[in-house]
Amino acid sequence: MTTLAILTAAGSGTRLGRDLPKALVDLAGFPLVLHAARRLAASGVVDSLVVTCPPGLAVEVGELVAHDPQVGLPVRAVEGGSTRQASVAAGLRLAAADVDVVLVHDAARPLAPPGLVRRVVAAVRQGHAAVVPGLPVVDTVKRVVPTSPDTVTRAEGPLAERVVETPDRGLLRAVQTPQGFDRPVLVRAHEDGARRADAEHLAATDDAGLVEALGLPVHVVAGDDAAMKITTERDLLVAGLLAEEES
């Protein structure tokens, strides 16, 4: 039985303000997707990779990853969908018959260390069907509701909302990727999620959320600061410093 990592790299990364997809943006000399693939491979617990790629770039990105000597794993590439959830589902359809554990990892977290990958896979192999890395939340987090009907459509600009709840910060976790799954559970979660996405036009932002919706338990292991997500130019600067420190 083998472990497959689905590396999601099909996002446009518009918030980064570059004219190329985020996964291809350079970090310390290499594109984000290559950093992520190298660290998955270095874990020693991943047997093959499927990369979800931006439209029209499956061949280019697939070759980039497959021909990298530090990756050295069988690599397949597929065009992603219009949402992250659809991209993961497309990757999952390419899983070979002998795959029993599936990791889903975002190229937007290029520095997620090999030790974190091993921790997630070990927890799945110990019997947890769904595993997420989580970090304590340092900010106090509020749940809000819009106070005027047009607030929800205004992504930027002055906020018109009010606080309805302050959850106990000690019970909150910021979750990262890679997330790890028993393959049949992830397949069922995506089938169920696709039905809801069609009916409610709501796509999940992570895969564990789809497992939760089935009413199944999701196990948390310690996350890692280095698995930070790159969304803004500032994140890229911080990741650049971390990558320098690493080498």
CB-based burial, 169-195: b 16+ in 10 Å, e otherwise: eeebeebbbbbbbbbebbbebbeebee
Among 84, 128, 183, 190, binds ligand C5P (CB under 6 A): 84
Please tell me whether residue 103 binds ligand C5P under the rule CB under 6 A: no
Q: Does 10 participate in binding ligand C5P (rule CB under 6 A)?
A: yes
Q: Is 181 left (phi over 0), alpha (psi -120 to 50) or beta?
A: beta
Q: Which 31-60 positions form the footprint of ligand C5P (CB under 6 A)?
A: 52
82 binds ligand C5P (CB under 6 A): yes
Sole binder of ligand C5P in the list 4, 35, 45, 106 (CB under 6 A):
106
For ligand C5P, the closer of residues 45 and 178 by Cβ is 178
User: Quick one: which segment of 56-64, 83-91, 156-164, 214-222 binds ligand C5P (CB under 6 A)?
Assistant: 83-91
Q: Min. distance of Cβ 7 from ligand C5P in angstroms?
A: 8
Residue from 4, 5, 11, 178 in contact with ligand C5P (CB under 6 A): 11
Q: How far is the CB of 164 from ligand C5P (least distance, A)?
A: 25
Kindly tell me which of 93 and 169 has the beta carbon lying closer to ligand C5P.
93
**Position with the least CB separation from ligand C5P:** 11
Instruction: Rule CB under 6 A: say whether 9 interacts with ligand C5P.
Output: yes
Site size with ligand C5P, rule: CB under 6 A: 17
Question: Which structure tokens are listed for 242?
Answer: 């971390």
Among the residue ranges 4-12, 110-118, 150-158, 238-246, the one whose residues contact ligand C5P (CB under 6 A): 4-12
> Does the footprint of ligand C5P cover residue 5 (CB under 6 A)?
no
Tell me which residues touch ligand C5P (CB under 6 A): 8-11, 22-23, 52, 80-84, 87, 106-108, 231
